[in-house]
A and B are shown apart, each in its own frame.
Chain A
Amino acid sequence: GEDVEQSLFLSVREGDSSVINCTYTDSSSTYLYWYKQEPGAGLQLLTYIFSNMDMKQDQRLTVLLNKKDKHLSLRIADTQTGDSAIYFCAERNTGGFKTIFGAGTRLFVKA
């Protein structure tokens, strides 16, 4: 079945870049998403990428997709303390009714 994997923790210094990695198993994944969860809150969409794209950039966020290796990454440039949160990778395929989430990567930003 479909599976999404990501490391559980990442710690960076304020001002550095953060790179959060994700791998998925479903080769028919059409959309891949990054959601952010702040403490005590629900998830909010950060960005998504369609499977026919290799890269998407949105201000400080860069998403890279390697379809061959089924690898997705999220780069946050100039990481701030306000970026401390849990980041979830997720995937869904065309016609699929289910969005499958990874376990989430908790990002710690040290001042």
Chain B
Amino acid sequence: NAGVTQTPKFQVLKTGQSMTLQCAQDMNHEYMSWYRQDPGMGLRLIHYSVGAGITDQGEVPNGYNVSRSTTEDFPLRLLSAAPSQTSVYFCASSPSGTGGSGANVLTFGAGSRLTVL
């Protein structure tokens, strides 16, 4: 059981380039999300999805695009990278999007460190 897998672990881009961060989970979780982690600012939610075909914006969605064509995959696209997008990106999933009867604990990937020059 791999959990949440993110690729790549490290990436360096030039300003204006585009790229996709991949995220896959094998736990049949309905809910998937992307956060970015910056020093002193904690984790900020970029986009999330409550199921295949459904996505929505978080706190800091500008400059990022997502899609959810399958339950397992939730890629994050940077359309035109900017130095302000230098960060560590985490994908996280949980059994469902709403509370239901459980705590809906997030399972995190190991992170992808992105540097934009």
Given contacts A50-B103, A99-B106, contact A42 B42 (CB under 8 A): no
Q: Can you list 26 residue pairs at the A/B interface with Cβ under 8 Å?
A: A4-B42, A31-B99, A31-B103, A33-B103, A33-B105, A35-B106, A40-B111, A41-B110, A42-B92, A43-B106, A43-B108, A44-B108, A45-B105, A45-B106, A88-B42, A88-B43, A94-B99, A95-B99, A96-B98, A97-B48, A97-B50, A97-B98, A101-B35, A101-B43, A103-B40, A103-B42
Is B109 on the interface with A (CB-CB < 8 A)?
yes
A34 to chain B minimum Cβ distance, whole angstroms, is 11
Q: Which single member of B33, B48, B97, B109 contacts A42 (CB below 8 Å)?
A: B109
Known contacts A8-B40, A33-B105, A48-B105; A95 and B110 CB within 8 A of each other? no
B42 neighbours in A (Cβ, 8 Å): 4, 88, 101-104
Residue B8, interface by CB 8 Å: no
Let me know if B90 and A43 touch, CB within 8 A.
yes
Contact B111 A42 (CB under 8 A): yes
* Contacts between chains A and B (CB distance < 8 A), count: 64
Name the residue of chain B whose CB is nearest to the CB of A42: B108
Proximity bits, A43-59, B CB within 8 Å = 1, else 0: 11100101000000000
Distance from B45 Cβ to chain A, minimum over Cβ atoms (Å) = 6
